[in-house]
Chains A and B, each alone.
Chain A
Amino acid sequence: MKLTVNGEVRDISAVTLAELMSELEYEGNWLATAHNGVIVHRQQRSQCRLAEGDRIEVLAPMKGG
């Protein structure tokens, strides 16, 4: 199915957010995720089921002022 991950449309076979993270090789405990604009905590990713057209954000620490 097609999802938008960090603004890019991708064809994904994963059915949960946790699987999507593995499929796209997102690793590390410094990542935060949101599903359709709502935060999904690390421990909730395996219960977060994905559907066609969903929007996913994967954020990491970055410099800031």
Chain B
Amino acid sequence: MLTVYDTQLASRLFLGTAQYPSPAALVDAVRASATSVVTVSLRREAAGGNAGGQFWSLIRSLGVSVLPNTAGCHSVKEAVTTAKMAREVFGTGWIKLEVIGNHDTLQPDVFGLVEAARILCQEGFSVFPYTTEDLVVAERLLDAGCRVLMPWCAPIGSAKGPRNRDALRSLRGHFPEIPLIVDAGLGRPSHAAAVMELGFDAVLLNTAVAKAGDPAAMAAAFAKAVEAGRQAFHAGLLEPRDMAVPSTPLIGKAVFA
């Protein structure tokens, strides 16, 4: 069981709800992933429209927790206001806090992120900060009141997988008690297994599942990889060696010469 903000979660896979070929494909992927948490957002509603209401009904029918985001926010004010509006709509104090600093890389503005996190934590939010793998920024976020960290492993939607394993390993080593969730950049189940093997507590995925040829099958594959990586971390991984080491015993080997 994973515990975040005093909530126990059965699954270590958080799943995004965007970019699926259809609402039915989203539902199938959520079920196949066995996720406990899906991410959602807030966008403008057309006058007289009901798109948001229909989407919200669909999400509620899934029986999972929701983690609203502040995606697309480029300032502290935007992110804080969006978080407050999300709390009213979704009825949760959980917020995936994104303060974007660069249009091309979608990397977080870590300075604005820390400032927004401090404001929201003081107002009682449970903040899940989308951050980089920078150790000092992580410390500042914890000082601001965050009790979960969500470092990227590569740019959002890039599918590149872990680019800086040393830094991810360092985060794990420095914060053994803080839930660490890799958010963004995972492209394949093997990427998810790799970060789980490093001891990360969970992963958050969207594009890799939603844009797969068969989103439900890919969601199931990721779920297995997350589970396998977690189990391997607990089982104790063999460290790489520079030289070959025979696995078959040499004692008792016949001599024919």
Q: Which residues of B contact A5 (CB under 8 A)?
A: 47
Tell me which of A25, A34, A63, A65 contacts B55 (CB under 8 A): A63
Q: Which residues of A contact B40 (CB under 8 A)?
A: 61-64
On whether the beta carbons of B44 and A57 are closer than 8 Å, the reply is yes
On whether the beta carbons of B71 and A64 are closer than 8 Å, the reply is yes
On whether the beta carbons of B48 and A25 are closer than 8 Å, the reply is yes
Which of B78-86, B137-145, B226-234 lies at the interface?
A: B78-86
| B interface bracket (residues with beta carbon within 8 Å of A) | 35 or more
In the complex, whether B170 has a CB less than 8 A from a CB of chain A is no
A45–B51 Cα distance when bound, in Å, is 22
On whether the beta carbons of B77 and A37 are closer than 8 Å, the reply is yes
A5–B82 Cα distance when bound, in Å, is 16
In the complex, whether B126 has a CB less than 8 A from a CB of chain A is no
Tell me which of A24, A30, A39 contacts B47 (CB under 8 A): A24
In the complex, whether A9 has a CB less than 8 A from a CB of chain B is no
In the complex, whether A49 has a CB less than 8 A from a CB of chain B is no
In the complex, whether B122 has a CB less than 8 A from a CB of chain A is no
Query: In angstroms, how far is the closest chain B Cβ from the Cβ of A45?
Result: 11
Tell me which of A7, A24, A38 contacts B44 (CB under 8 A): A7
Q: Which residues of B contact A51 (CB under 8 A)?
A: none
On whether the beta carbons of B88 and A28 are closer than 8 Å, the reply is no
In the complex, whether B69 has a CB less than 8 A from a CB of chain A is yes
In the complex, whether B52 has a CB less than 8 A from a CB of chain A is yes
On whether the beta carbons of A65 and B88 are closer than 8 Å, the reply is no
Query: In angstroms, how far is the closest chain A Cβ from the Cβ of B194?
Result: 20
A26–B53 Cα distance when bound, in Å, is 11
Tell me which of B20, B56, B85 contacts A34 (CB under 8 A): B85
A58–B52 Cα distance when bound, in Å, is 11
Q: Scoring B residues 127 to 156 as 1 if CB is less than 8 Å from chain A, else 0, what string do you get?
A: 000000000000000000000000000001
In the complex, whether B7 has a CB less than 8 A from a CB of chain A is no
Name B's A-contacting residues (CB within 8 A). Answer: 16-20, 26, 39-53, 55-56, 59, 68-69, 71, 77, 81-82, 84-86, 88-90, 156, 206-207
Name A's B-contacting residues (CB within 8 A). Answer: 5-7, 24-26, 28, 30-34, 37-39, 41-42, 57-65
